[in-house]
Amino acid sequence: MFVIRHPNRYYLTNTIDSLSVRIPDEIAKPLNNLCKDLERPKTFIIIKAIENYLKEYADYQIALDRLNDKDDEIISSKEIRKNLDL
């Protein structure tokens, strides 16, 4: 059993996938500086970046699906503001 610590939460897991990547210096140097500034290991920064990317991609996919759904009603920002009394 492994415990992965993130700010304000812990994950318990039976397995951890290992990943090895090669990154160019123009990414590695700022990453190293960020790790020093935040006093966090590279693994933490990379996991957070992947989590954020996956969330953004999921939102993007939802938007694409809604855009391609001909039965999904399109509401303008003007209508939204009117409905919210803004």
From the CB of residue 40, how many other CB atoms can be counted at a distance below 10 Å? 13
What are the tens digits of pLDDT across the range 26-72?
Answer: 999 999 999 999 999 998 899 899 999 999 999 999 989 988 888 88
**pLDDT higher for 16 or 24?**
24
Burial classification of residue 62, based on how many CB atoms lie within 10 Å of its CB (0-12 exposed, 13-18 middle, 19 or more buried): exposed
Cα separation, 40 vs 32, in Å, equals 10
Cα separation, 45 vs 36, in Å, equals 11
pLDDT value, residue 6:
63
Rg (CA), the chain: 20
pTM of the model: 0.62
